[in-house]
Structure 1
């Protein structure tokens, strides 16, 4: 159960996140417009013919945005740790065709590396690459149908329409994210930031990108209205990172787990079809309230450790008992005296 699934399906977990989650009125918009309002203007209409296309375009846009940020910052890490690779592995297990990685994924990865390294133009070809990577990511996140056809799956239906939509979205991204200076060649960027043991405890939680200390989550929805699920997701990322830092403060060393020692307080939804930024600064959250949320999260994980006992498989030099002790010590921690 991933972070988003846990927020959706687990009431106790959702209520913990809700303690610090901002409401509509707490956000600011970088353009000065009222956040989540009809003051927004559609810059790219959402008129894709099939419902599944929206999901595919959203994932492909995430890829293209990070690749473009990689170009600006001259950072080829933008092409690493893609969820598409997990989708590729799942496809191999399903089909028992273990040549697929070399035949299908490696050329995609090479194209991305060349695009970033050589600062290539944003052509239809690289957009098709992003759509194929998105298809694999989509496969990783979905249930496999009984009558599964590998060749049909690998085909991108209506690619001309999807590429046209992506082109328009990237024109707006170039103007609002690059030309307006949200990211520049000196920016400090973390792609797909994860949160160590915190991510492991919820079976996966990785955000889109952190640029200069601000966590950005890309949305290609055509709906400008406030959605509490988005706010809870951003709050979940922040709280999981605070929980990770609390464990680090206990001097428990993270052997073998892939995570970023990161610190951020600002989060921002980038609404790609409107070119709008809806932002919140967790620095304004009461410290006692935040501390209480971290303790509540530790209590939750103390009684709901999930796959913590299997952590040794992910990090062979790591003792799960160390983490259990750390979580328990936070769970029984007293609140800051008044």
Structure 2
């Protein structure tokens, strides 16, 4: 059970965050100086008309995260993810025996080829970018089985749905033309891709963020809903707490701000962690998190 699932599915765990954090919407700032979570912010990358959010949005979101990390590394000449993504492989391992043998073999070969393609892309080589995007959707199909117990897909695992590809391509194309300037890294040593927060994350059953860069932690939200969400804020604060209390810290430097990047809106919102710690008793919340997990382990 991951930090995300704990907050979503365990009412008492979520209540703990709600009591300690409350609503901190007023603490958020916008990188571009606009009003955070404004209802007037235009949706710049809408989904195709035949897009079903209940079926497709989670897949595209996961696929976009994997593509964005690869694009970010390629652009900044950072090579941290140059092997098969473990979440993809673990997802495949959960379903391989449930698939017909031929389909299982085809999927295994497919994800190996996609992994090699993604690594080549990160390393700066010319690749077929449409093939890469389709591959990220295949990765997402597998990764969703790692994250949760869900039924097998009725459709093929190796052939992405066209509506998902069109949405992902539109979002990736927009990102390449409108990447926020703070994602152009000055110090590659300041970057951690997909941080997992070491031993402290074991308290939550696992946790992995999206990106730490220049002492800022960002969670990527490719959703079409640009609004304040308590669950998402609790998750981000949870990541910050895990990083802060990790004895083998990801970096010596402390995280100075935490925030969300919304690529469909060209918006990035954040909270300086000094402001967060003034408003929220972070140490007490960490103590309550540890006490919760110690009770559940008995």
TM-score by structure 1 length? 0.76
C-alpha separation between the residues in 1 aligned to 2:169 and 2:109? 27
Q: Is the 8 A contact 1:183 1:211 kept in 2?
A: no
C-alpha separation between the residues in 2 aligned to 1:243 and 1:300? 16
Q: Structure 1 residue 103: deviation in Å?
A: 1.5
Runs of at least 5 residues in structure 1 that lack an aligned partner in the other structure: 249-253, 307-338
Structure 1 residue 301 and structure 2 residue 290: aligned? no
DSSP 3-state at the match of 1:172: helix
Deviations 1:188-212 (A, max 9, x none): 2211101222222212210111111
* Structure having the higher Rg: 1
- Give the aligned partner of residue 274 of structure 2: 283
| Counterpart among 66, 73, 76 of residue 76 in structure 2 | 73
Distance verdict in 2 for CA 1:155–1:142, change over 3 Å? farther
Distance verdict in 2 for CA 1:131–1:229, change over 3 Å? same
Q: Is the 8 A contact 2:221 2:260 kept in 1?
A: yes
- Give the aligned partner of residue 332 of structure 1: none
Structure 1 residue 28 and structure 2 residue 44: aligned? no
- Give the aligned partner of residue 182 of structure 1: 183
| Counterpart among 100, 112, 116 of residue 118 in structure 2 | 112
RMSD (CA atoms): 2.7
C-alpha separation between the residues in 1 aligned to 2:78 and 2:3? 27
**Structure 2 matches for 1:43-192, cutoff 5 A?**
43-47=44-48, 49-50=51-52, 51-80=54-83, 81-95=85-99, 97=101, 99=105, 103-120=109-126, 123-145=129-151, 148=152, 152-157=156-161, 159=162, 161-177=163-179, 180-184=181-185, 186-187=187-188, 188-192=190-194
C-alpha separation between the residues in 1 aligned to 2:208 and 2:244? 14
Q: Structure 1 residue 87: deviation in Å?
A: 1.1
Q: Structure 1 residue 86: deviation in Å?
A: 1.4
DSSP 3-state at the match of 2:156: helix
C-alpha separation between the residues in 2 aligned to 1:11 and 1:139? 23
DSSP 3-state at the match of 2:60: helix
Q: Is the 8 A contact 2:21 2:280 kept in 1?
A: no
TM-score by structure 2 length? 0.85
Q: Structure 1 residue 121: deviation in Å?
A: 5.9
C-alpha separation between the residues in 2 aligned to 1:218 and 1:65? 9
C-alpha separation between the residues in 1 aligned to 2:80 and 2:239? 21
Q: Is the 8 A contact 2:107 2:157 kept in 1?
A: no
C-alpha separation between the residues in 2 aligned to 1:10 and 1:136? 25
- Give the aligned partner of residue 333 of structure 1: none
Runs of at least 5 residues in structure 2 that lack an aligned partner in the other structure: none
- Give the aligned partner of residue 10 of structure 1: 10
Q: Structure 1 residue 102: deviation in Å?
A: 5.2
